[in-house]
Amino acid sequence: MRIKKLALLFLFFFFSSAFAAEQLIIEPEAGREPILSAIKNANSSIDLVIYGFTDKKILKALIDAKKQNKKIRIVLEPHPFKSEDENNFAIQKLEAADIDLQNPNPDFKLTHQKTFLIDNQKAIIMTFNLTKTAFKNERNFALVTDDPAVVHEISDVFTGDRENKKIGVKHPDLLWSPNNSRAKILDFIKGAHSEIDIYAQDITDYQMIGELAKAAHAGKKIKIVMSPPKSGNNRKMDYLKRAGAQVRFSENLIIHAKVIMVDHDRAIIGSINLTEPSMNDNRELSIVTRDPKVVGELEKTFEADEKKAVIF
């Protein structure tokens, strides 16, 4: 019986993925329009999990959608780290509009996930918050997917987190913190044959640094583009450089993206940073994409940003 269930589960994931469409949003070039369009074109419902929310145009679009009798449900981190009052304006406006706004599951240190669900048929998994700077001078991405299995699991976790219930996760292409992201990212890095390209806001987790250094020592080409690290993190970047990794610092864009590309044929994209709190303590979500067009667009953008960045 167990084998039969596993076989049915495999077929469900296989066939739903085979006919799923994926699209990449590249920021800041795309601006707010893809998000505003998704909100405007929603037929009946919008579910949102977000960490930082200060953008007034997107806030207005959600309030307008509520006035059009669309069902809006939002889980919003009330006190982002070191910006505890950042979301106060959005909270006041959403509550005044009688939008279903809920605090995150207290099991997590922070809810850092950044995801839209549109009509329970489409998911937008983002590296960016809904802030002005996200659309102005930050390098960010989002993956749009209509894969039914992906949407179904994200919806289940959304409901579970709102009800403070533990939800099992099983989709092979979804990485959830704190459930399974560390193990899946490690496997992703270990599975690289020749090349790993990384956009990182920060890299501080010792296990991740060790695995990347091991890959570099094994002759795999490791390229990292990030903003200049915070004080005290230069030693970690120096360690990776001495292991053979190529580290570059962006000066024209703030690197807020969290993306790992492997062998030019697959990538992880989402909210998960390569830091211990992000993998162990926070609610986070990233997704694996193998879509050739999406991966190609990621790599093309990475190569352009790498050329402009300064060698560490």
Q: Which helix (H) or strand (E) holds 139?
A: strand 138-145
> Distance between CA atoms of 147 and 42, rounded to whole angstroms?
17
CB burial readout 30-66, b (16+ within 10 A) else e: eebebbbebbeebeeebbbbbbbbbbeebbebbbebb
- Fold match, 14-174 / 175-311: yes
The HSE-up count of residue 228 (CA atoms within 13 Å, CB side) is 4
Interstrand relation of 71-76 and 100-102 (parallel, antiparallel or unpaired): parallel
> Number of H helices and number of E strands within the chain?
10, 16
Does 9 have pLDDT greater than 90?
no
User: Whole-prediction pTM value?
Assistant: 0.92
Q: Domain 14-174 belongs to what topology?
A: Endonuclease; Chain A (3.30.870)
Question: Average pLDDT, stretch 255-266?
Answer: 97
Tell the CATH topology of 175-311: Endonuclease; Chain A (3.30.870)
Kindly report whether the peptide bond that precedes residue 34 is cis, defined as omega within 30 degrees of 0: no
Count of other CB atoms within 10 angstroms of residue 182: 20
pLDDT digits (tens, 9 = 90+) for 172-226: 999 999 999 999 999 999 999 999 999 999 999 999 999 999 999 999 999 999 9
- Boundaries of every domain in the chain: 14-174, 175-311
Q: What is the identity of the amino acid at 46?
A: I
Does 161 score more than 50 pLDDT?
A: yes
250 vs 132: CA distance, rounded Å: 20
At residue 15, does pLDDT exceed 50? no
CA dist 312 and 310 (Å) reads 6
Strands (E) located in 149-271: 174-177, 195-200, 221-226, 246-249, 254-255, 259-262, 266-270
